[in-house]
């Protein structure tokens, strides 16, 4: 059995005091939002406890699906690197970036440089998307939707180059008999979020999955606990979102949570159980909120011929 922990959208705080010149952009909007709202609704104390609970379950791997920072200040990006190192070594933790990690032009390059070892594929020396990490029976496929967007927008885009590569990557991994998990920040479903927060070319992701196959899609962005599905070649592929890892209980959105996925079986008869853990009250402890099996599509690609 392989166990994967999934958390997302930590929006690490407290936010460093920005310099005036750093606010001469869209950042001023995010900074005001942090001061008025997110600084109170997202707390590192809950995030720290959540990460401690993740470690207590000793997962084989941890996935973080973006929005590590808030307005992508240089000091935020550096602090996020330190936080990742506390979670675990890069071989055991995989990251894909979110829209807040690309808050202004140039920020995503700084973030990927700082977090490179957490988002580099097997055998690769540089960050490139989509990337692949094989861990036991699982293949983690990291996709980036992180793009700088205009004021009051939080859109994402996968782009033509990633789209071109994604289908053959998924197909090859299926032929290898691996349980494929696509990690992405924005949800790829139809009307999965508000128009100003959407994945603008989500249809490209859906088309790649329909053609190439996938067993599970994990994302963040909405700060909600949702389960959806998109069409695959042999059945619906489950699409699961986890709430923000730092949300304070009692707010408009679900409090700090993470999901554990326990994967077993083999191609054609995969089994995947999900355990949802998190807070329910401000002074409460982390507890199991739900536990159930996920229906994954029964895909049984012919194994790729070995080369002698």
Distance set, CA 101 to CA 11, 55, 66, 71 (Å): 9, 25, 7, 7
Rounded to whole angstroms, the Cα distance separating 23 from 232 reads 44
The pTM of this model reads: 0.95
Domain 2-294 has what CATH class?
A: alpha beta
Is the pLDDT confidence value at 22 over 60? yes
Per-residue pLDDT tens over the stretch 54-111? 999 999 999 999 999 999 999 999 999 999 999 999 999 999 999 999 999 999 999 9
290-293, long-range: CB within 8 Å, 24+ apart, which pairs? Answer: none
Is the pLDDT confidence value at 36 over 80? yes
């Amino acid at each position: 059995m392989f166990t994967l922990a999934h958390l997302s959208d930590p929006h690490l705080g407290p936010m460093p005091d920005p310099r005036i010149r750093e606010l001469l952009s869209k950042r001023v909007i995010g900074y005001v939002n942090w001061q008025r709202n997110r600084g109170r609704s997202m707390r590192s104390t809950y995030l720290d406890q959540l990460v401690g609970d993740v470690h207590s379950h000793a997962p084989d791997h941890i996935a973080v699906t973006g929005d590590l920072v808030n307005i992508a200040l240089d000091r935020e990006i550096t602090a996020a690197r330190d936080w990742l190192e506390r979670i675990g070594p890069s071989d055991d933790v995989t990251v894909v970036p979110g829209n807040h990690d690309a808050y202004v032009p140039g920020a995503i390059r700084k973030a990927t440089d700082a977090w490179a070892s957490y988002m580099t594929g097997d055998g690769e020396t540089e960050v490139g998307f989509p990337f692949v990490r094989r861990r036991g029976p699982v293949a983690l496929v990291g996709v980036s939707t992180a793009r700088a967007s205009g004021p009051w927008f939080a859109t994402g885009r996968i782009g033509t180059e990633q789209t071109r590569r994604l289908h053959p990557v998924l197909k090859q991994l299926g032929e290898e008999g691996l349980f494929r998990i696509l990690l992405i920040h924005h949800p790829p479903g139809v009307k999965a979020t508000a128009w100003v927060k959407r994945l603008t070319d989500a249809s490209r992701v859906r088309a790649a999955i329909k053609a190439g196959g996938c067993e599970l899609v994990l994302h963040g962005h909405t700060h909600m606990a949702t389960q959806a599905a998109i069409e695959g070649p042999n059945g619906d592929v489950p699409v699961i979102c986890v709430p923000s890892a730092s949300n304070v209980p009692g707010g408009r959105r679900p409090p700090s949570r993470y999901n554990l996925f326990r994967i077993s079986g083999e191609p054609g008869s995969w089994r995947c159980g999900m355990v949802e853990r998190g807070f329910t009250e401000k002074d409460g402890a982390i507890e199991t909120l739900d536990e159930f099996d996920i229906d994954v599509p029964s895909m049984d690609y012919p194994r790729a011929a070995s080369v002698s």
